[in-house]
């Protein structure tokens, strides 16, 4: 048994995921001004459409009349909302593709995450396998905001789980 | 001079400092070495991981990170992605235009607190938009490197990019 098994869930190892499984994650998150401005500035994204409310009200973007949440945050929040269930046993993230941000997120909008298992396959390590997920993020009005495919190297219960 | 006069002069006479590129600037093959770089700290990693509810404990619990075979907490790969993306924005997308997609994002090496990320991009495609004549569609290949010059992430990003007025 690994040191982490006592501190994490018992139902989200490699063996627990089968292609076709579709999950709704338990919690949503209201994306606040704090989340957007803090994280946009933290990663030094210089696009003021994410942090200059006055310019947006003046029509600077030509599209939105208020700050819009940086898409990298929408992606990260969706994958974060899915993380306890689909990343708690992950040793390393491998790749992402098919990232689409199909609807803007504004301060005060709430994101909910869903996940579909696309594949589960052995890796070159006997103690872990590769799982590919398709993650979805929708807002409070049921608009699809985020979609992304993600592959991660996940612990096998046989090697890492509680005895 | 009154304050009103000072402000009136600023608004009438100051030249706007140029920032950001437009569609016409993105010839395929053009390379950009993006500004600044960013040393990622443990505080960045913890703050990013908890604000995004990313409950893989190896980003917030150093003992679990070590038990998982890492020397210490690895930087959350989504923070690596967002940082390299963020550093690229002034050159690539600040000129205006919505995000269309990211493909083929690969994490090539782990990043640890104290590592310094830098970003580079190359224009790989630029074409007209049939639906939006004021914009073009540009795809860039972006790479992130650590302080030893090792590539840690790569991805392709596509945006609508505003044309010059």
Q: Which ipTM did the prediction report?
A: 0.97
Tell if the CB–CB gap between B86 and A43 is shorter than 8 Å.
Answer: yes
- Name which of A149, A152, A150 is nearest A128 in CA terms: A152
A3, B63: Cβ pair inside 8 Å? Answer: yes
d(CA A137, CA A151) in angstroms, rounded, equals 17
Question: For the CA atoms of B146, B150, B154, B159, what is the dihedral angle to 10 degrees?
Answer: 50
Q: Is residue A9 part of a domain?
A: yes
Element (H, E) at B118: strand B116-128
Contact residues on chain A for B82, CB-CB shorter than 8 A: 39, 43, 45, 70, 72-73, 76
How far apart are alpha carbons B27 and A91 in whole angstroms?
40
> Across the strands, what pairs with A61?
none
Question: pLDDT of B10-28, one tens digit each?
Answer: 999 999 998 889 999 999 9
Residue A152 domain-assigned (yes or no): yes
pLDDT of res. A1? 55
Q: Can you tell me the distance from the alpha carbon of B112 to that of B3, in angstroms, rounded to the nearest whole number?
A: 50
Of A29, A70, A93, the CB nearest to B77: A93
Q: Are strands A144-155 and A128-138 parallel, antiparallel or unpaired?
A: antiparallel
Give the pLDDT band (50/70/90) at residue A88.
very high
The answer to whether residue A61 is domain-embedded is no
- Here the CATH number for the domain that contains residue A115 is 3.10.129.10
A contact test, residue of B16, B45, B52 with most A CBs within 10 A: B52
| d(C-alpha A87, C-alpha A24), whole Å | 15
Residue A3 forms contact with B (CB below 8 Å): yes
Nearest-by-Cβ selection for A43 from B19, B58, B82: B82
The percentage of residues in chain A with a pLDDT greater than 70, rounded to a whole number, is 98
Nearest chain B residue to A90, by CA: B56
pLDDT value at B110 more than 90: yes
Which A positions 102-161 lie with beta carbon below 8 A of chain B? none
Q: Which domain holds residue A149?
A: 5-31+69-160
HSE-up of residue B78 (Cα within 13 Å, Cβ side): 31
Q: Model pTM?
A: 0.97
Task: Write out the H or E segment, with its range, that includes residue B11.
Answer: helix B3-13
Residue A98, class by beta-carbon neighbours within 10 Å (0-12 exposed, 13-18 middle, 19+ buried)?
Answer: middle
Q: Do B54 and A92 touch (CB under 8 A)?
A: no
Which residue of A lies nearest to B59 if distances are taken between CA atoms?
A88
Is A145 domain-assigned? yes
Of the partner residues A39, A40, A44, the one whose CB lies closest to the CB of residue B36: A44
Domains and CATH numbers, chain B: 20-39+74-162 (3.10.129.10)
Q: How many domains does chain A have?
A: 1
Compute φ and ψ for B55, nearest 5 degrees: -90, 50
């Amino acid at each position: 048994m690994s040191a982490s098994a006592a501190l994490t869930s018992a139902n989200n190892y490699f063996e627990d995921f089968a292609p076709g499984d579709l999950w709704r994650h338990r919690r949503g998150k209201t994306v606040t001004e704090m989340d957007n401005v803090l994280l946009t500035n933290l990663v030094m994204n210089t696009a003021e459409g994410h942090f200059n409310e006055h310019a947006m009200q003046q029509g600077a973007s030509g599209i939105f009349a208020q700050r819009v949440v940086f898409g990298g945050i929408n992606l990260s929040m969706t994958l974060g909302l899915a993380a306890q269930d689909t990343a708690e046993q992950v040793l390393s993230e491998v790749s992402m593709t098919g990232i689409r941000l199909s609807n803007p997120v504004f301060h005060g909008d709430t994101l909910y995450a869903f996940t579909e298992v696309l594949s589960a396959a052995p890796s070159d390590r006997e103690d872990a396998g590769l799982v590919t997920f398709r993650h979805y993020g929708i807002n409070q009005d049921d608009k699809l905001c985020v979609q992304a495919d993600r592959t991660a190297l996940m612990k096998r219960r046989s090697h890492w789980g509680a005895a | 001079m009154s304050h009103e006069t000072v402000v009136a002069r600023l608004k009438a006479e100051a030249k706007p400092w140029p920032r950001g590129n437009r569609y016409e600037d993105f010839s395929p093959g053009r390379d950009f070495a993006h500004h600044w770089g960013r040393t990622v700290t443990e505080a960045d990693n913890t703050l990013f991981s908890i604000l995004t509810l990313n409950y893989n404990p190896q980003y917030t619990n150093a003992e679990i990170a070590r038990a998982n075979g890492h020397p210490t907490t690895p930087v959350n790969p989504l923070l690596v992605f967002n940082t390299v993306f963020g550093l690229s924005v002034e050159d690539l997308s600040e000129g205006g235009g919505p995000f269309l997609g990211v493909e083929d994002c690969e994490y090539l090496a782990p990043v640890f607190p104290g590592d310094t990320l830098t970003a580079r991009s190359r224009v790989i495609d630029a074409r007209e938009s049939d639906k939006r004549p004021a914009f073009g569609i540009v795809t860039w290949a972006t790479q992130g490197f650590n302080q030893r010059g090792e590539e840690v992430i790569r991805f392709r990003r596509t945006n609508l990019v505003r044309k010059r007025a």
